[in-house]
Amino acid sequence: MPDNRLLVIDDEPDVAATVGRVARRAGFDTIVTTDGADFLERAWSWEPTVMVLDLAMPDVDGREILAELARRSSKAHILIVSGFERPEIEEAMAAGRAAGLNMAGILEKPLRIDSLRAALRAIYDDAELISAEDTRAALERGEFFLHYQPKVSLRTLRPAGVEALARWRHPQRGLISPDSFIPVMEAGGVMDRFTPHVIGQAVAQARTWRDQNLDIGIAVNVSGGSFDRLRLDDIIGQRCREQGVDPACLTVEITETAAMVNVAEAIDGMRRLRAMGVRISIDDFGTGYSSLVQLHRLPFSEVKIDKSFVLDCDINPESQVIVRTIVSLAHNLGLKVVAEGVETAGISDQLLAAGCDIVQGYHYGRPMAADALGDWLRGFGRPARDIPARIGAAP
Ligand code: C2E
Ligand code: MG
Ligand code: MG
């Protein structure tokens, strides 16, 4: 039996099924139920490591289930899903904690796939915390490398570049995803050494692909904080000269633009990059940190809609409205729009109808090793219906 077992109870079959699907993809063995007695029975016989519990169900009182779990000293991580008002949920969380339960977080309805994934990841990561010192040592040992994920033009269905996504090959723990180490690097002051390292690898790869007659643009991610402190134009200029690569094949995706404290200097830095032909993208647009003012004031070339709005834009009218609004806003400002998190043909169709320019997601290709990407690109000239839905390594 895998170590990760997730038990979910919800009276809404859609919610229960979504939790089950997302958890299974995240590597959990999963059981879904709508019945309180069944839930409690499995809570003991199956020993789940994570339980997802709806508090507001018509036939079952979620708070009674919590009380019963506390009586039996359950050790599982408990996530609460609820349409209740916030104070009632906070109260249930506090009561659970006071009774010794491991209350891991709250998932609000309507359930967002992304928040569920983040909650599961947080539980998993807590078990094995990474320190800034670990990442510094790993950088010295050369354990970081890049995977590449294709972007596709919706209008022509031709490849429109790739995004370089960092991976850590940990000698004991295997492949570690950036969500587990990037925040640690940002907080621990490692980013300013990591960013040049990533740029160096991406430019070297651009050279290798060019030597193989593959002309493809590469986007690298740069945190807002690094953008502020580093002279990116010098770093990119130098690496490109060393490799004989045109800087115009690079895009810089800026995440956490709120971390850019000095806006006047940021604008200068961005202008210098634009003058070299480098494109600049505002990543994860629509989430807490990006703002309209930044979009207007800073010389961006493109907007990347955050995947939390894309993942369910085919079924969630609210996400659909957000996507359409971002597309028209960006186009009015003369910016291209990229959507990330395009997992299905249905989502891709929605984005096409919304006027989105470029798509990126598992439906077209997963992040993959550089060699695999070469093969993917060579196979991409075929008609759209032949495009393999899932190619490459797991993300
Ligand atoms: P991001 O820049 O927004 O990158 C997109 C993320 O969405 C990637 O996660 C990618 O694997 C994932 N993704 C792509 N298609 C799909 C899809 O169809 N469905 C879903 N659910 N996800 C999809 P990844 O590789 O885990 O990277 C996470 C984040 O870590 C990145 O988000 C970026 O903010 C950061 N990151 C990655 N590499 C670097 C780096 O070299 N430097 C910095 N500063 N940040 C990096
Ligand atoms: Mg990005
Ligand atoms: Mg993103």
Q: What is the CATH number of the domain that holds 49?
A: 3.40.50.2300
State whether 121 and 137 are in the same domain: no
Element spanning 103, H or E: strand 102-108
C-alpha span between 194 and 326 (Å, rounded): 31
DSSP 108-175: ESSPPHHHHHHHHHHHHHHHT---HHHHHHHHHTT-EEEEEEEEEETTT--EEEEEEEEEEEETTTEE
Q: Are residues 167 and 214 in the same domain?
A: yes
pTM of the model: 0.73
- Any ligand 1 atom below 6 A from CB of 255: yes
Question: Tokens 């409205």 sit at which residue?
Answer: 321
**How far apart (Å, rounded) are the C-alpha atoms in residues 220 and 281?**
10
- Say if residues 164 and 234 touch (Cβ distance below 8 Å): no
Share of the chain above pLDDT 70, in %: 91
- C-alpha 170 – ligand 1 centre gap (Å): 18
CATH of the domain at 294: 3.20.20.450
Do residue 105 and residue 223 come from a single domain?
Answer: no
Which residues span the domain enclosing 273? Answer: 132-392
**Can you list the alpha helix ranges (DSSP code H) found in 176-223?**
178-188, 191-211
How much is the pLDDT for 288? 58
231-248 CB burial, b ≥16 within 10 A, e <16: ebbebbbebbeebebebe
Q: Decide which of 126, 151, 181 is a domain's last residue.
A: 126
DSSP 313-370: TTT-HHHHHHHHHHHHHHHHTT-EEEEE---SHHHHHHHHHHT--EEESTTT---B-H
CB 283 less than 6 A from any atom of ligand 1: yes
| Same-domain pairing of 210 and 87 | no
Q: Please tell me the distance between residue 360's alpha carbon and the centre of ligand 2 in angstroms.
A: 10
Domain-ending residue, one of 98, 126, 154: 126
**Ligand showing the shortest atom-to-Cα distance for residue 255:** 1
Closest CA to 301 of 321, 324, 277: 277
- Pocket test of ligand 1: the residue of 113, 190, 340, 359 to mutate, having most ligand atoms within 8 Å of its CB, is 340
**Model pLDDT for residues 171-223, shown as the tens digit of each residue:** 877 888 898 888 889 878 899 999 999 999 999 999 999 999 988 999 999 98
Residues 70 and 154 placed together within one structural domain of the fold:
no
**Interacting residues of 321 by C-beta distance below 8 A, sequence separation 6+:** none
Clarify whether residues 266 and 343 are in a common domain.
yes
Tell whether 378 and 307 lie within a shared domain: yes
Which residue puts its alpha carbon closest to atom 8 of ligand 1? 165
Q: Give residue-wise pLDDT tens across range 86-141.
A: 788 888 899 999 999 999 888 877 777 777 888 887 777 655 667 889 999 999 99
* Same-domain pairing of 13 and 136: no
Q: Are residues 197 and 52 in the same domain?
A: no
Closest ligand by atom to 310 CA: 1
Which pLDDT belongs to residue 259?
61
CA atoms within 13 A on the CB side of 181: 25
Whether pLDDT at 78 is above 90: yes
Sign of CA dihedral 372, 377, 378, 382: positive
- Please tell me the distance from the alpha carbon of residue 108 to that of residue 111, in angstroms, as a whole number: 6
Residue 41 has pLDDT above 70, yes or no: yes
Span from the CA of 30 to the centroid of ligand 3 (angstroms): 27
Rounded to whole angstroms, how far apart are CA atoms 368 and 376?
Answer: 9
318-372 pLDDT, tens digit per residue, is 999 999 999 999 999 999 999 999 999 999 999 999 999 999 999 999 999 999 9
Asked if residue 354 and residue 247 are part of one domain, the reply reads yes
Q: Contact, 281 vs 304, CB < 8 A?
A: yes
What is the pLDDT, as a whole number, of residue 317? 92
Residue nearest to atom 3 of ligand 1 (CA): 284
Q: Which of 126, 145, 173 is the last residue of a domain?
A: 126
Which ligand has the nearest atom to the CA of 198? 1
| Residue 361 beta carbon below 6 angstroms from any ligand 1 atom | yes
Ligand 1 and 343: CB distance under 6 A: yes
Strand pairing of 50-54 and 29-33?
Answer: unpaired
**Beta carbons of 13 and 49 less than 8 angstroms apart:** no
Rounded distance between C-alpha atoms, residue 124 and residue 202, angstroms: 30
- Mapped onto helix, strand or coil, the DSSP state of residue 214 is coil
Q: What distance in Å separates the CA atoms of residue 232 and residue 228, rounded to the nearest whole number?
A: 9
State how many domains the chain has.
Answer: 2
Same domain, 23 and 109: yes
Is residue 223 in contact with ligand 1, taking CB distance under 6 Å? yes
Tell me the pairing of strands 144-153 and 159-170: antiparallel
Question: Does residue 339's CB lie within 6 angstroms of at least one atom of ligand 1?
Answer: no
Strands 50-54 and 77-82: parallel
Residue 258 · residue 223 · CB < 8 Å: no
Residues 23 and 52 in one domain: yes
